Amino acid sequence: MQRKLIFILTLLLSGRAMTLLFIHRAGGAMPGDPPIAWLMPLIGDAVIGLSALWIAFLVLKKTGLWVWTTIIVWNSLAIWDALSAFIIHTTNPWPEFFMIQLLGPSMFFAASFMHLLIIILACQPDVKNKLLG
């Protein structure tokens, strides 16, 4: 059950790839364009979101130390990316981003919490043993 929850959370986090739609607009002069400081967080989100599909596949279909390590490292980097984006948000706000309009700065912490939850679940002895094979 916990492995399925890791899978579901990972699929939900693939939504971070939506930032692909905004990367080309970073630093643009049009209303609603993200400040140039958002370029790296947008790229980070895109990489995390796209790679989430591969991580979800690993969770379901593969085993081994490399799988478990990849899951832990991926989620750790994703937490770093989300918290870095929060710092960018506080110094160079992008109030026109619909996710910030909906959730405010809590969206950064919600993503971080989901990634942390995956790490915690993956470190549970029974889940870890299944992932290790």
The model's pLDDT over 24-80, given as tens digits with 9 standing for 90+, comes to: 999 998 888 999 999 999 999 999 999 999 999 999 999 999 999 999 999 999 999
Residue ranges of domains in the chain:
2-26+34-132
Residue count of the chain: 133
Secondary structure class of 93 (helix, strand, coil): coil
Helix, strand and coil percent figures for the chain, each rounded to 5:
80, 0, 20
Question: Could you give the CA distance from residue 102 to residue 17 in angstroms, rounded to a whole number?
Answer: 18
pLDDT number for residue 103: 79
- pTM: predicted TM-score of the whole model, two decimal places: 0.92
Q: How many CA atoms lie within 13 A of 78 on its CB side?
A: 33
Our measurement of the distance from residue 54's CA atom to the centroid of its chain's CA atoms, rounded to an integer in Å, reads 13
